Amino acid sequence: MVLESLFNPFGLKKRPWQMFIAGFVYSLIAFVLSYIVFRDAAGLLLVFLVVLSTLPILYTAIRNEEELDLKYTKEWKLLKEHTKVLVFFMFLFLGITAGLVFSYIAFPSAIVDTVFSLQNEAIVSVNNNVQANITGGITKINLFGKIFMNNIKVLFFCLIFSFLYGSGAIFILTWNASVIAAAMGNIIKTELAKVTTLVGLSSASAYLGVTTFSFFRYMTHGLLEIAAYFVAGLAGGIISIAIIKHNLKENRVLIDVLDLVLISVGLLLIAGVVEVYITPVLFG
């Protein structure tokens, strides 16, 4: 109750940056508690605790968006309102990711390896798949197809989780945030070790440069994917609440949900193009 009362969900559309602070604070607390309480499964407990602290805010936000479906008659006005809540969802994701990256860098390696053990295993699995695609001579168009279909599966689960649990997509997105944070944290530590070896110190400029590189390496296409998943989660949550409130017969609700799903698929298409054709050129 204390954590969820720190931020007012009704004013966050006007001050979405507060969600960055919320995500950062929630993830730091979750990191510490997951190691202290149940370190054998700290990776999953970390995700669970972050989700637990964000659910009240997210559910309130999605419920308010469902009510807007009945208030606005023009779809473009409704989508404009949805954009505001999407912005604060994105700030929340970035805050969670930043908090976990900070934890990865700031805490001792023994603690980090324990908490992020599952995330590191996921990264190894992804890297092995990527390497297999490279050595297998897969074409870019085929790689795009594989990435897009995999992202569609994630989007589908975001939609289903939100439909079943109201704000269930946040579990999948928090897991993704933790994996991205582990990957970014590993890059930052590795590159800083190289800088320290060459220069003999870790300056503020080195931290800034390495952090910026790791951020854009994963977020160039990642932000588009996360936005797509949040849009799909919003669509699933609106359907869920509309069924509970017996508003599903309203055509405006169904049209709005369909528009959100189509927008999320469109975002994934763009993200796939960026990941396959642009990110490798920029970052190698």
Lowest average pLDDT, out of 12-16, 83-87, 182-186, 279-283, goes to 12-16
Give pLDDT, residue 29.
94
**Among 259, 267, 270, residue whose Cα is nearest residue 155:** 267
On the question of pLDDT at 67 being above 80, the answer is: no
Give pLDDT, residue 114.
92
Q: Report pTM.
A: 0.86
Q: Where are the domains of the chain?
A: 4-283
Give pLDDT, residue 102.
93
| CA distance linking residue 165 with residue 134, whole number of Å | 39
Kindly give the interhelix angle for 169-199 and 140-165, rounded to the nearest 10 degrees: 130
Q: pLDDT (tens digit, 9 = 90+) per residue, 22-59?
A: 999 999 999 999 999 888 889 999 999 999 988 888 88
Q: pLDDT (tens digit, 9 = 90+) per residue, 206-236?
A: 566 666 776 777 778 888 999 999 999 988 8
212-246 exposure pattern, b = at least 16 Cβ within 10 A, e = fewer: eebbebbbbbbbbbbbbbbbbbbbbbbbbbbeeee
| CA distance linking residue 93 with residue 266, whole number of Å | 20
When pLDDT is cut at 50, 70 and 90, the band that residue 200 belongs to is: low
Q: pLDDT (tens digit, 9 = 90+) per residue, 115-142?
A: 999 998 888 877 676 666 655 557 888 8
The tokens describing 206, both together, are 């080195």
Residue 169, CA distances (Å) to 104, 153, 186, 230, 277 in order: 24, 13, 26, 7, 28
